[in-house]
Structure 1
Amino acid sequence: MVPNGGYTTSTFMTVASRHMQLTHAKRKQPHVINLHLEFLRRTAQGEAIFNVKDVKLGSRITNLHLTLAQMDDSNKLVDEVEGYITMSDMASETGLSLETGYKLYPEPLAVDLLALAQGKDANYIIRGPDAFASFRRAANQIRMHLIRPQQRPPHFPKALIDQWITFRPQGKEGRLTNDAIGFVVDIFPQIVEQYVNQDVEEACLGDGLTPEEAKAYIKKNGSRTYWYPTLSLNLDVKKLLPQEGVEWLFVRIQAKSIKDGRFDLLIHVLDEGGDLVALSTHSSLAVDASRNTTRTKKKENKL
């Protein structure tokens, strides 16, 4: 089983922040403002070793190079993910600020978050059990609220998903902080599923179905399973969330091209007030799900 790429990304962010706090505490640069990761090989559940290199130490920003390594089947330590992270202190940033007038298009549907928390919002509904939960366990830590199928405007492209999310670690109430943004930008219903398993995805919403009926439908119809490994991930953090975190974040996911088993993703993250929190771009593959659940010994992890 390969861990969720967003979980790996947030782990990189946490390691970078911890490195700055322990090794360069006087610089007071605890926040990730920019990140680029290359997923070289499949990661696996278990122990991992991070190596952090100071590339450039600056008065306002610091550049780090990080690698994640794990033991392969021949008991050799192999680099699996590596990337560059830019650190700063977002709480004390000053400089030129201009209003650009940028807005999402198409405009997101209106939401009543108090009603949404009770499952009574007119436009959004909670997403039920994942269609393929056995190898997408990370989704169980997040509560997703998607557009009700009957409320989805006809001008919304199929390759676009809007969701409001809350953090529910182990089913308990949680708060979303900047450390979680790496996870947030890689945890969502896959756009490809809107094409190859559309009925199953709508069943996951449980609109008009009991949880038991939704699970039965998924078990009967959810047979076309894919894995979507990330090749590279970029993250630009625009806003520092409150230290205690927030309950809700809005996430828009959109693909521009899905071709020959390769696709892109653009992710916007906004807070309750509509402020831009982060932008992320992904380059990904769509392959058979068996590639996620099997691991051949003594062979390179090929994609």
Structure 2
Amino acid sequence: MPSSSLPSTPLLPSLSISAISTHSYAAHFNSDFCIGTVPHGGYISASFLQVASVHFSSTLHGQNQPDTSILQLNFLRRTSAGPATFVVKDVKLGRATSIIHVTLVQNDVEEAVAYITQTNCEKETGVSMHTGWSVVPSAPAGRPPEAEKWEEVTDLPFLGFRKATSHVELWMPREDARRELPAGRVDQWMRMRSGERWTNVHLGYLADYFPLLIEFMEPNGKIGKEEGAVRAGAKFWYPTLVLNLEIKKRLPADGCEWLRSVVQMRHVRNGRNDLELVLFDEKGDLVAVSHHVCLVVPVSRNVSERRKDRVNVAGDNSKI
């Protein structure tokens, strides 16, 4: 069991999705999973996955498609801790796959929208092949805490502001091995501090969980430790605009203790950033692939007063 003095809150109980009707669901976003005043993007992504799971186990149980294969998520506006509603539209119901459109609403305003594709992994058939693809250069062999060349990261920057990052035990290659990796790349093993095990719903959370790449970058372009970020006074917020997630397999029914992810940031231009993240299980099998577009903005954008003239659900643009 992981042990740490850092606060730890299990993810799944914090999603609290309950049916209002056949196509609407109530949620309550836990402030423990916030970055500043805004719920963590991965927490919101996991909430969408949980809505799909509940919808296909209740309203659409006859489809027998319990597994999300694709999540395409757009964040329209800042979300907030507290009550929320998810509204579902059944777009396409098929024998092999089905697609739903899900809208997240808070205070009568659409905050995020997603298309979610469901399937049944146990019934999928078709061509399978190994292409020889691998992450190059590779990280040190083995899995922590036994592996010698991995170390736990306990000094995540600005942890009081980024509460959502405190719930995961994070291990990265030791400093000498880390410097051999390409610039803008993070290689990490993760498990929940609470002892909760990773399930497919958790993959939405992990698709947006990684150290702050820009604040870890040293002048030579390599990933360094927190001191460089503190010296520079860096304190940014990284709101996600778009998150796409493809899930390759169903994790075991009792979950996984550890998952590994490799995150690559290619280029930052004019405050807009791209990210690719790939997730592996303990056997090295590919679990999921995610791509992001996110912004790099001053932290004041996170805590500033919310505008009163946002577009409402009815599409009233008169106040803009």
Instruction: Give TM-score scaled by structure 1 length.
Output: 0.85
Pick one of 163, 187, 203 that aligns with 1:162: 187
Q: Which residue of 1 aligns with 2:28?
A: none
Instruction: Pick closer, same or farther for the CA change 1:197–1:82 going to 2, 3 Å.
Output: farther
User: Does the CA-based 8 Å contact 1:197-1:222 persist in structure 2?
Assistant: no
User: Does the CA-based 8 Å contact 1:124-1:148 persist in structure 2?
Assistant: yes
Q: Which residue of 2 aligns with 1:93?
A: 124
User: Does the CA-based 8 Å contact 2:39-2:81 persist in structure 1?
Assistant: yes
Percent identical pairs in the alignment equals 37
Higher helix share: 1
User: Does the CA-based 8 Å contact 2:139-2:173 persist in structure 1?
Assistant: no
Secondary structure at the counterpart of residue 47 of structure 1: strand
Q: Quick one: distance in 1 between partners of 2:279 and 2:302?
A: 27
Pairing 1:125–2:151 present: yes
Q: Which residue of 1 aligns with 2:140?
A: 109
Secondary structure at the counterpart of residue 193 of structure 1: helix
Q: Quick one: distance in 2 between partners of 1:165 and 1:66?
A: 29
5+ residue gaps, structure 2: 1-36, 312-320
Q: Quick one: distance in 2 between partners of 1:40 and 1:180?
A: 22
How does 1:57-72 map onto structure 2 within 5 Å? 57-71=93-107
Q: Which residue of 2 aligns with 1:152?
A: 178
Secondary structure at the counterpart of residue 54 of structure 1: strand
Structural RMSD (CA): 2.1
- State the Cα distance separating 1:224 from its structure 2 match: 1.6
User: Does the CA-based 8 Å contact 1:261-1:285 persist in structure 2?
Assistant: yes
Q: Which residue of 1 aligns with 2:200?
A: 178
Instruction: Pick closer, same or farther for the CA change 1:142–1:108 going to 2, 3 Å.
Output: same
Instruction: Give TM-score scaled by structure 2 length.
Output: 0.80
5+ residue gaps, structure 1: 72-76, 116-120, 205-216
- State the Cα distance separating 1:175 from its structure 2 match: 0.5
The count of residues paired between Structure 1 and Structure 2 equals: 273
Q: Provide Cα deviations, 1:91-113, integer angstroms capped at 9, x if missing partner.
A: 22222212211111122221243
Q: Provide Cα deviations, 1:193-227, integer angstroms capped at 9, x if missing partner.
A: 122799xx8555xxxxxxxxxxxx79974732000
Q: Quick one: distance in 2 between partners of 1:222 and 1:148?
A: 23
Q: Provide Cα deviations, 1:125-163, integer angstroms capped at 9, x if missing partner.
A: 111142111221111111110121122243x22200000
Instruction: Pick closer, same or farther for the CA change 1:99–1:150 going to 2, 3 Å.
Output: closer
Q: Quick one: distance in 1 between partners of 2:219 and 2:297?
A: 15
